[in-house]
Amino acid sequence: MQATYRRRLSPSLNLLMLLPLPAYLLFMGVVASGRGNGDPVVGTVVIGLLTLLPVGFAFLSSAFIRVSADTVRVGFSPMARSKFRRADVEHVELIPLVDAFESYGGWGIKGSARSPKGLLYSAGGSAAISLTLHDGRRYLVGCDADDGDVRRVLEVLAPSPTDAGEEDPSSSTVGGRSV
């Protein structure tokens, strides 16, 4: 079974990220012009290409979790990803309230997988999917708790009743919560 959840930055956050763009363009224009020695065409091309970086980052950024038959990938696209075997996941839970600013210092890639709080990949949302691996590493992906894709990821990652040693296959839990 496979499942994917992706949380993109909201349009207001995209605009907020682009606020410094005019100052950036002015600075790059001065640098790329070469102040008398530079070629204005090359300067214009460089400015155009460098403008695509923050625009692309603002509109393509997203926190994600992708579960396949044997692997789990979590990350903050297009920058960072962590990949591990599905069998290495010891505990999965939905944390209903995660304050990315108070606990981690903001959105993006925050923390460390080996710290008690874990590594947070967040593009917003008030909840988080938490994955703890057998070796103690912990990853959190910011999400919206009421999203159907979040429920699907939790169901796919939930251990089967035979794996967990449960007698009753009708009662399935993920991180202490019934699914």
Structure tokens at 34: 């070469």
Structure tokens at 120: 């947070």
Q: Among 65, 45, 54, which residue's Cα sits nearest to residue 125?
A: 65
Percentage above 90 pLDDT, the chain:
27
The letter for the amino acid at 26 is L
Q: Give the 3-state DSSP-derived string for 105-167, with helices as H, strands as E and coil as C.
A: CCCEEEECCCCCCCEEEECCCCEEEEEEECCCCEEEEEECCCCHHHHHHHHHHCCCHHHHCCC
Is the CB of residue 5 less than 8 Å from the CB of residue 147? yes
For residue range 65-108, list pLDDT tens digits in order: 999 989 999 999 888 889 999 999 999 999 999 888 888 888 88
Whether the predicted pLDDT of 17 surpasses 80: no
Whether the predicted pLDDT of 49 surpasses 60: yes
For residue range 163-173, list pLDDT tens digits in order: 544 444 333 33
Percentage above 70 pLDDT, the chain:
77
For residue range 105-125, list pLDDT tens digits in order: 888 889 899 999 999 998 888
